[in-house]
Chain A
Amino acid sequence: MSEKNFIKKALTETVMTRRSFLKWSAALGGTAALAGGLNFGLKTVEKAAAASAPEEIMTIGCYHNCGGRCILGAVVKDGTVVRLVPDPTTEEDPIHNPRAIPCLRGRSQIHRVYAAERLKYPLKRTGKRGEGKFERISWQEALDTIASELKRIKDKYGNESLYMHYASGVNWTGPNGRGPLARLMILFGGYMNYYNSYSTACYSSVMPYITGGSGNTADDVLNAKLVVLFGDNSVVTRAGGDNNGYYYMKAKENGTKFIVVDPIKTDTAAALEADWYPIYGGTDVALIAALSYVMVKENLYDKDFMATHSVGFDEDTLPEGAPANSSWMAYIMGQSDDGVEKTPEWASQITGLPAERIVNLAREMANTKPCAMFQGWGWQRRAYGEQPVRALPILAAMTGNFGVSGGGPGMRPSGMSFKITSAPPVPANPIKAAFPVFKWPDFITRGTEMTSGPVDRIHGADKLDASMKFMWNFGGNTIINQHSDVNGTAKVLQDESLLEFIVTVDVQMTPSARFSDIVLPETTGFESDNIITGEGHGEKGNHAWVLYNHQVVQPLFEDQPSLWIAEQLADRLGLGDAFRDGHQTPDDWMQDMVASAQKNYSDFPSLTDFKKVGIYKVSSNKPVIAFADFRADPVANPLATQTGKIEIYSPFLASQNDPKEIPAIPKYIPEWEGVSDPLRKKYPLLMSTTHWVARSHSTFDNVDYLREAHPQAIWINALDAKQRGIKNGDMVKVYNDRGEVHLPAYVTNRIRPGYTNMPQGGWYTPDSSGVDTRGCANVLTKYQPTPFAKGNPQHTNLVQVEKV
């Protein structure tokens, strides 16, 4: 992929200007102010130790999946973590190498480690799946049972029936995390693969059919005069202090103007003091078509660039074999099948934005140079999420910003990757078949019917040879909480004749753990040594780091790290020697990781020294400008698309023969359960399920400090609330045909009328009548994959809201 290429190029071309080590021996003096202890539910932590006891800072990582990653120091005194401090390195350059100061989520880690829901012992299910009835068993019984079930199911159904589910709660580079279990399962003969994610299914799937890569590194946003964010709430989604949200704020201080197109005036929009365009969710392509229309009508675009660098912008650049009037120009000018001119007035009726504002926005975007356009991932987690991803780069190209500093291609920002291998390594899976991850319930109910055809889009094989019979759920909450239609999924899981065995490895008794047959208690980052890199989704700017995460407390109760769990199972499956491959301790694996880093960074320390310094950072003083070489010479430096150009018309997508739902050019497709669905007569309010500042997906939902700081609520516009007699803070019921949730209302003008938002990640907690009581948005979302990516449309929902 060209994304990797240009990052690689950046690494070799630019000079690494700054490398910083932390001197970890610095002792912070002082004692906590309050006498007495605090009961965390499991353990009393005494905070008022003798004033003379020295404090030591040990580096630890925030290892969850916000995509941001940040650095913490645990202040340890008398063997206890007394408080946390942010990234303890010295900040020499706040732009090119900023400290990774964690957000509120990272700062609350102590209360996550000592949460009441922490798992303490291995558990065996005694009630029905989901009922939450378990009994404590020994590690020996748990491991023996899992080993014997693995063997039984493999013998009966084959390795294709074994599966490790999508999960993102734990992201160590090694030696713990998902890797050890994956390695074990490969040595055991392999397991069924998935492709895609719940984050970027549509973005990743269609990227090869538009730009072939992501945008400029986030530090380049400081060079923009105008930034337009489409559904990008980065100060919440990547809240920590060395991510793209930080760069947006720095750009604002620098005088850059921001515009936010979003149904919600997000914290990002508020903090950036952005001009807000409160669009109806799911109608972005209608807006983009109209913006494009204005630019053409008013001659505000770069005709030459479109002629030389794009495919299918107009009829002249259509590829061979494309039918007449199938270009973007034909579409916006009303010459394509629908015969509709994509005027601002047309778009106004759909988007809810006044036509005059659409015209002004088009002029401002075209006339302010450079203008950076970024898309969030929210708009592609919708019914037709493939379309907007491919549409925005058209505007970036038309306005002369594609491949330009301070501009960009209208994708997400990119970042630098730290070059270190993970360990223990996961060998290649002998099973090549992979299904789109959102369709995992189908893999349970009709796996053997799934094919490479348009319904299931199996990759790597023509069809699947088995249905799912064994599931590993490692550090994840996607088997019930984070997947669409919780009530429908529960029925699939409760039929034990289908999926025969579910093992969850986690640190908390999550809703997904409650649906498992065996639950194994894992250690948190406080209780095990690990190495982790700084890039979750690589949107940090042109810098990267790797961190040594120290074990700062003894493992609680019988909790064990995942490497130990995998080793124990390997021994039971006769794979002990193959699994260890000469590695007897976690340090042996970390030696391998350090050795790989030393190959890439000549002054990377030894493992012993890395433990002492804790952090190793690299940075460049120059941002990466994506596709600058392509801009300069598109023939010599083609994009990683089929045609080598900006693929407004995709021959591959055209070949799918589904012009209505997989059009060759991006189109506005009215959503089911969208703004124009007649179902609004019954369920009048659109509802999205965005990320929430107090959680990383569902991680942290049980942390008291965060629940207090940002209580779960459904956002509803003051006009919609007034109509329903709802006041700020009132308990409401939110329902549709799929379920019902009771939670407080946040009555605000920061969300457009007709639109509501229930942040995703609240833990599914049904009462006796099946009503969720903790704001689990997926009780209301629909299990209907997007047409091409088969992605999760979790922001496309219709609901009704009433006062309880």
Chain B
Amino acid sequence: MAKQMAFYVNIAECVGCKACQVACKDKNNLPDGIRWRRVFEYEGGEWVNQAGTLIPSNLFTYFVSAACMHCQNPICLEVCPAEAISKRADGIVLIDDQKCVGCRYCSWACPYGAPQFNEKLGVMTKCTFCSDLIDQGGHPACVDACPYRALEFGDLEELRAKHGNFDNPAPLPDPSFTNPSIVYGANGETEVSNQATGHIMNLEEIPNEHA
């Protein structure tokens, strides 16, 4: 069994289509507004006037698919007053909806916005790593969904051995607080989160815009 289940997301292979997001919603029957997996449209640069001709300057665009990071120090678990959040032996972080009281502390604490409140159910919900499928030898729905094969999953150390340990592409937050179980592949335009110059373009993913 994996010591710590993790996702690998290769930004260099992502075309920003969000098939992963939609497959996750389909598999998990998620209502409008809840996205356990989301894709940030990230853009930087500007247009400048060069001798009377407008030209793009330092323009870059890439897409970052992100879900719950199943962190090694899950802050959501620490702050939950109902002790509804647990970390399995394989590192998958789960919310027990029988124990959850819907106080939303976890959503405020999580730097990735992973736990999301389901109004209809009255509880917090988030990416389960498709643990129901995993436990029977299957794959997370998002990983299987990618038409461009940009997603993988497996044990964190194995993924790091294969792909490196890049875990902080902009616009994601500083990973030092929670030690996310994630490996990203970068493309030639990818910025590091603490040196970000661009901005998130899709409104639904801009923090606080739709809190």
Contacts and interface: CB of A to CB of B under 8 A. Distances in A.
Contact of B147 (A101, A253, A278, A352): A101
B33 A85 contact: no
Interface in B92-119: 97
A103 B145 CA distance: 8
Given A32-B132, A108-B26, A246-B148, A265 B47 contact: no
Contacts of B121: 34, 36
Nearest to B25: A705
Contacts of B81: none
Interface in A69-88: 70, 83-86
Interface stretch (B1-9, B135-143, B169-177): B135-143
A348 B137 contact: no
B59 A749 contact: yes
Given A348-B53, A354-B53, A711-B204, A753 B27 contact: no
A276 B56 contact: yes
B46 interface: yes
Contacts of A36: 120-121
A267 B39 CA distance: 13
Interface in A344-374: 348, 352-354
A445 interface: no
Q: Which of A70, A268, A728 has the most CB of B within 10 A?
A: A728
Given A86-B144, A239-B17, A28 B27 contact: no
A719 B47 contact: yes
A748 interface: yes
A267 B53 contact: no
A705 B28 CA distance: 12
A34 B131 CA distance: 12
Interface residues of B, number: 61
A273 B185 CA distance: 14
B59 A235 contact: no
Contacts of A744: 203
A101 B56 contact: no
A19 interface: no
Contacts of B56: 265, 276, 278, 749
Contacts of B12: 252-253, 273
A268 B15 contact: yes
B135 A30 contact: yes
A693 interface: yes
B14 to A, nearest CB: 7
A746 interface: yes
A34 B189 contact: no
Nearest to B33: A708
Given A273-B189, A276-B59, A34 B136 contact: no
Interface in A702-730: 704-706, 708-711, 717-719, 728-729
A271 B27 contact: no
A33 B148 CA distance: 26
A102 interface: yes
B67 interface: no
Given A711-B204, A749-B46, A253 B13 contact: yes
A744 B203 CA distance: 11
B82 interface: no
Interface string B13-42: 111111101110111110111010001000
A406 interface: no
Contacts of A28: 133, 136, 138
Interface string A269-291: 01101001010000000000000
A752 B62 CA distance: 18
A28 B43 CA distance: 39
Interface in A672-713: 693, 704-706, 708-711
B89 interface: no
Q: Is the interface of B mostly helix, strand, loop or mixed?
A: mixed
A245 B147 CA distance: 10
B33 to A, nearest CB: 7
A750 B203 contact: no
Nearest to A243: B147
Contact of A245 (B15, B23, B55, B130): B15
A236 interface: yes
B27 A104 contact: no
Contact of A718 (B39, B46, B133): B46
A252 B31 CA distance: 36
A108 B61 CA distance: 26
Interface in A439-464: none
A239 B147 contact: yes
Contact of B22 (A101, A107, A241): A107
A348 B50 CA distance: 13
Interface in A17-42: 28-36, 38
A753 B133 CA distance: 48
B193 interface: no
Interface string A319-348: 000000000000000000000000000001
B53 A352 contact: yes
Nearest to A249: B148
Q: Which of B27, B46, B187 has the most CB of A within 10 A?
A: B27
A708 B32 CA distance: 7
A38 B132 contact: no
B146 A101 contact: yes
A33 B128 contact: yes
A30 B132 contact: yes
Nearest to A752: B54
A107 B23 contact: yes
A88 to B, nearest CB: 10
B29 A270 contact: no
B197 to A, nearest CB: 12
Contact of A728 (B35, B130, B132, B203): B203
B188 interface: yes
Interface in A236-269: 236, 239-241, 245-246, 249, 252-253, 265, 267-268
Contact of A108 (B13, B22, B46, B54): B22
A110 B27 contact: no
Contacts of A348: 53
A719 B12 CA distance: 29
Nearest to A32: B29
Given A83-B26, A246-B147, A708-B204, A107 B187 contact: no
Contacts of A245: 15
B32 A704 contact: yes
A562 B55 CA distance: 53
Nearest to A713: B203
Interface string B184-206: 00011100000000000101100
Interface string B144-162: 1111110000000000000
A483 interface: no
Nearest to B44: A749
Nearest to B42: A270
B132 A31 contact: yes
B164 interface: no
Nearest to B118: A34
A47 interface: yes
A710 B18 contact: yes
A317 to B, nearest CB: 36
Contacts of A29: 133, 136-138
Smallest CB-CB A-B distances: 10 pairs: A241-B147, A29-B136, A271-B15, A270-B61, A235-B15, A104-B22, A104-B19, A709-B18, A30-B132, A101-B147
Interface of B: 12-19, 21-23, 25-29, 31-33, 35, 39, 43, 45-47, 50-51, 53-56, 59, 61-63, 97, 120-121, 125, 128, 130-133, 135-138, 141, 144-149, 187-189, 201, 203-204
Given A32-B28, A249-B148, 17 more contacts: A28-B138, A34-B125, A36-B121, A83-B26, A84-B26, A85-B141, A102-B19, A107-B19, A239-B17, A241-B149, A265-B56, A271-B15, A273-B189, A354-B51, A711-B204, A719-B47, A749-B46
16 contacts: A30-B136, A34-B121, A36-B120, A85-B141, A103-B19, A107-B22, A267-B17, A348-B53, A352-B54, A705-B25, A717-B47, A749-B43, A749-B46, A749-B56, A750-B43, A750-B61
